[in-house]
Amino acid sequence: MGQEQLVGHGLEAGPVLLASIGRSLFRYRLGDEGFVEQGRLELPLAVQYACFPPGRPVAYVACSNGGVAVPGDRHCLVQVSLGDTGMHIVAEPVALPYRPLHASVDMGRNRVALAYNRPAAVTVHDLDDNGGLVPPWRLLAEGAERVGHFPHQVIPMPGSPDLLLTCRGDDASTASEENPGSLRVLRDEGQTLACVQVVAPNAGFGFGPRNCAFQPQGHMLYAVLERQNRLAAFRYREGLIEPQPSWDVGLLDKPEKIRRPQLGGAIAIHPTGRYAYVVNRAHPVPDGSGNAAPCGENSIVVFHLDVRTGEPREMQRLALNGLHARCLALAPDGKALVAALRQTGRYKHDDGRIVECAAGFVTFHIADTGHLTFMRQDVVDVGNDQLFWADFAPI
């Protein structure tokens, strides 16, 4: 890993970041000298996503030999110990039915939930009293009426036993009509997952949520609309989401000059509930000539969240020096934010310059006001692969 442009902020060594490149799971520790690699573990298949039980040195890692637009034919959920003796696999991996996109853990109900996009599905996996996976999955939910089109995320709902399934839908193409997006509330009824609420403004057409996050106070839900490059805010109370957003704001600096693919991405909400951080991500699409192609916006937008009403107001915008930050990691203490740049590449700037980009981590210090200050950019050698997933572990 290379390093450049260090700005000292007195950040004590402490936060642990996990990141994946193909089948390799890396463990880093962040300090004043940047990210220091502390270990590497080879998983049975390429890492797609991972989640953590709060306060425990464990990760549940979803793996597959598939990838973006590639379904694959082998998939598993792996329990990884993150103890002081290093990372290691605990027990046998649990076979999964399809390529998983997202996973979340709900220790209050001793379960892990996974979302799949093609075919659309959700599985629920029980945990024992020690947090161990109990194979196989307990529930498998499929079908558009229950799980919508293109599920991308499944998370616990605060103050409720239910799960929130975020369904992106699909844009229309020459081969097919648009599939509508939706937010779906799923209830674990022991023998089945029932869909008890569907939130889909305009019947879900022109509504493409990818990532959602609840305000810590639990009264607002924020949804990043990937296909529309917008942030929607819904009021939330007693397990129910209001059917229409209270606020809907744009994410792009130049919405009149979109270069596809231009996508809304990850969202992270500060532990105080007062600030939200949202990624705009893009990468150039070669035209076959061998020349560098233009690229859309890669940036982080910072929003102030009104504690009483939940209204998001843009307060800062920072360009990212790199391509397609697929993941955004917020340190547990709320003092650092990391954007994980997925890939290497080059693009043609509007002024004609050719810009070379590397994969890696862009780290920002978070002030008490919620504002970001650039700290450093670390280059990660991904070879012909990608920096596909990264997040801070709550240990």
20 closest CA partner among 44, 51, 54, 50:
50
Alpha-carbon span 269 to 387, nearest angstrom: 22
Query: Model confidence over 71-96: pLDDT tens digits?
Result: 899 999 999 999 877 899 999 999 99
Given CATH 2.130.10.10, say whether it is the number of domain 259-394.
yes
Query: Model confidence over 22-53: pLDDT tens digits?
Result: 999 999 998 877 899 999 999 999 999 999 99
Query: Model confidence over 134-169: pLDDT tens digits?
Result: 999 999 999 999 999 999 999 999 999 999 999 999
Whole-model pTM? Answer: 0.94
166 closest CA partner among 264, 251, 255:
264
For residues 282-309, b (16+ Cβ closer than 10 Å) or e, as one string?
bbbeeeeeeebbebbbbbbbbbbbeeee
Query: Model confidence over 162-174: pLDDT tens digits?
Result: 999 999 999 988 8
262 closest CA partner among 225, 301, 310:
225
- Sorted by where each begins, the domain ranges of the chain are 259-394
* pLDDT, averaged across the chain: 93
Overall average pLDDT of the 180-195 stretch: 96
Query: Model confidence over 274-314: pLDDT tens digits?
Result: 999 999 999 998 887 878 898 999 999 999 999 999 999 99
11 — pLDDT class (breaks 50, 70, 90): very low
Whether residue 10 has pLDDT greater than 60: no
